[in-house]
Structure 1
Amino acid sequence: MKQVIVPLNAYKAERMTELEQEELISAIAKAGADGVEIRRELLPLETLSFSKLGQHIRFQNLFSIYSAPIELWKEAGQFNHHLVTLALHEAKELGANMIKFPLGHFQSGISCLQELSEAWEEEYAACVLLVENDQTEHGGNMKRLKAFFENAAASHVPVKMTFDVGNWAYTGEDVYEALEQLRPYTVYVHLKHVEKKDRSFITLPLPFDMDAAWRTVLAQFPNNVLTALEFPLASGEMTKCYVNTIKEQESKVKQYDKA
């Protein structure tokens, strides 16, 4: 069964107070979602108690993912040890089930996967390590991502993928080709509807049409994939509506799988 996750950036783009985050987390639970994605860029890092926020998430019986916009590899391919280790430590205090990073400038034969593995094991091996296709040419490139996951598998580094459906528009790559190449590594899907307007891209709520592209994409993943609503959500009622829509979609995929 699919679990629906709501990232906090679906509501606001600026920093949030700890109280605002707790209120949104409660509203997300009330809307029937299964989990929340905490966004590091929205946190008041100077004053936030990660452990207290984590307690509130667990009190609401929600699954938690910590998203840290810190590239794993620097421009020359070196491991971004200090900042990645810091984010892992924060995720541990939060008690997150998963932690998500952008790839950065990974280079086969230069970037040391063992350093990533050691940092993860030392800081917080209890969480699942995720890498997402972002909106950059280096971190959202299909071939580079595939090379990274192939290298990780060969090196026995247990890293999985967050497949962001909308970000392929920013890098000019085909989402269906990306599906074929990267689906085996994916455990978490970010859903969004992206359109181009005046030479730039905008993220919009998912269309409800039965033939909408997101439904076709989501149907290509197994039923146990985590699914995030990463688009503007105006209210708790809107969140509840989309949570129910994704869960209904899941039941239809089940029927399709059995056929």
Structure 2
Amino acid sequence: MNQLGINLLVFKNELDKGIKQEQILEQIEALGVHIAEIRRECLKNLAEEIPIINKLAKEFGIELYYSVPEKVACEKKLNPDINVYFEEAKLMGASHIKFNIGDLVELSLDEIKKLRDIIYKFEIKVTIENDQTPENGNLKCVIDAIDIINKNSLPIGYTFDLGNWYWQNEDPENAFDILRSAITVFHLKNVEFLNNKPTTTLLSEGQINWKAMLKKLSNNVPVMIEYPIRNEDIRGELEEVRKILL
């Protein structure tokens, strides 16, 4: 059975009010969820918050994923701060770390070796993700990145973000069919169009046939809910997903 997790974007209303991610972990545990994805851009004081998140996650029995909205590589070199991000993930006790693709396909063999060595050193699972930008979010760049990963035997997985394809005018169902075998984490959201622009919505109100995709997904792939939800709707959204994953 696929594990079900929550990306802290679900609690955007609270985060916008200044509530810290550490304060939300207990709510996640109370919802019967045992995976939480922490968002780096929402950490205001990393040195202070990361150890607290580590402690509370252990207390509540929550596995941590760490979302870093930075490119794994830029200007044909590894991101100069990549070790910093891995150190943060280690201090947090995160089992996974996620990056944007960036210039991964343009890395030299030396840079690829450096990346491989860093991943093995920290022993944290790594994924790249299709985001909402042209350089990281269209189907071709994802296919090219996965091809480089496979050719160089890099220990990097792929986070498939279901809704983000619409921001690049891509068909999410076509992308899923092409990329399904590479998916190691699944970010679940649904999308509707307002004034011809995509926006996330409740799972039952969007236009993506997400249920069919989850049924085709390998059962070892974690499913992370990742879109802003009103507090009163969170439990119902989780139940919608659990019905399919059972």
Instruction: State the 4+ residue runs in structure 1 displaced beyond 4 angstroms.
Output: 13-17, 108-111
TM-score (norm 1): 0.86
1:248 aligns with 243
Deviations 1:34-83 (A, max 9, x none): 21010001001355231221110121111210000011121x33221x22
Match of 1:134, SS state, is: coil
The corresponding residue for 2:84 is: 86
Task: Assess if the C-alpha contact under 8 Å between 1:6 and 1:35 holds in 2.
Answer: yes
- Write the distance in 1 (CA, Å) between the matches of 2:23 and 2:68: 21
In the TM superposition, what is the alpha-carbon distance from 1:90 to its structure 2 partner?
0.3
Distance 1:121 1:16 in 2: 38
SS in 2 for 1:225: coil
How far off its partner does 1:239 sit?
Answer: 2.2
| % identical aligned pairs | 26
Partner of residue 192, structure 2: 195
Is the CA contact 1:28–1:239 (under 8 Å) kept in the aligned structure 2? no
Q: Which amino acid aligns with 1:84?
A: I
The alpha carbon displacement at 1:163 in A equals 0.3
Q: 1:257 maps to what in 2?
A: none
Q: Does structure 2 retain, via aligned residues, the 8 Å contact 1:57–1:63?
A: yes
Checking the alignment, whether the CA contact within 8 Å between 1:2 and 1:227 is kept in structure 2 is yes
Q: Within the alignment, does 1:35 sit opposite 2:35 as a pair?
A: yes
Match of 2:230 among 217, 234, 239: 234
Distance 1:143 1:54, change over 3 A: same
* Aligned equivalent of 2:118: 119
Deviations 1:78-119 (A, max 9, x none): 221x22221111000001010011101333465742232122
2:55 alignment counterpart: 55
Letter in 2 for 1:107: V
1:105 to 91, 103, 107: 103
The alignment status of 1:137 with 2:130, answered yes or no, reads no
Is the contact between residue 113 and residue 152 of structure 1 (CA under 8 Å) also seen in structure 2? no
CA distance in structure 1 between the aligned counterparts of 2:240 and 2:41, rounded to whole angstroms: 28
Contact between 2:105 and 2:148, CA under 8 Å: does it hold in 1? no
2:72 maps to a residue whose letter is L
Asked if the contact 1:7–1:36 (Cα under 8 Å) also holds between the matched residues in 2, the reply is: yes
**2:145 — aligned with what?**
148
Where does residue 159 of structure 1 map in the other structure? 156
Change over 3 Å in CA distance of 1:70–1:114 after alignment to 2: same
Q: Is the 8 A contact 2:11 2:228 kept in 1?
A: yes
The answer to whether the aligner puts 1:184 opposite 2:160 as a matched pair is no
Letter in 2 for 1:96: A
Q: Which stretch of the first structure deviates more once superposed, 23-32 or 199-208? A: 199-208
Instruction: Spell out, residue by residue over 1:121-172, the C-alpha distance to the aligned partner (whole angstroms, 9 max, x if none).
Output: 33x22x1101111111111122221222222122121100100000000111
> Separation in 1 of the partners of 2:195 and 2:235?
32
Q: Secondary structure at the match of 2:115?
A: helix
Compare 30-39 and 240-249 and name the one that shifted more: 240-249
Report the 3-state secondary structure (helix = DSSP H, G, I; strand = E; otherwise coil) of the residue aligned with 1:70: strand
Letter in 2 for 1:27: Q
Matched with 2:212 is 216
Q: Is the 8 A contact 1:108 1:148 kept in 2?
A: no
What is the CA RMSD across the aligned residues, in angstroms?
Answer: 2.2
Distance (Å, rounded) in 1 between the aligned partners of 2:136 and 2:208: 27
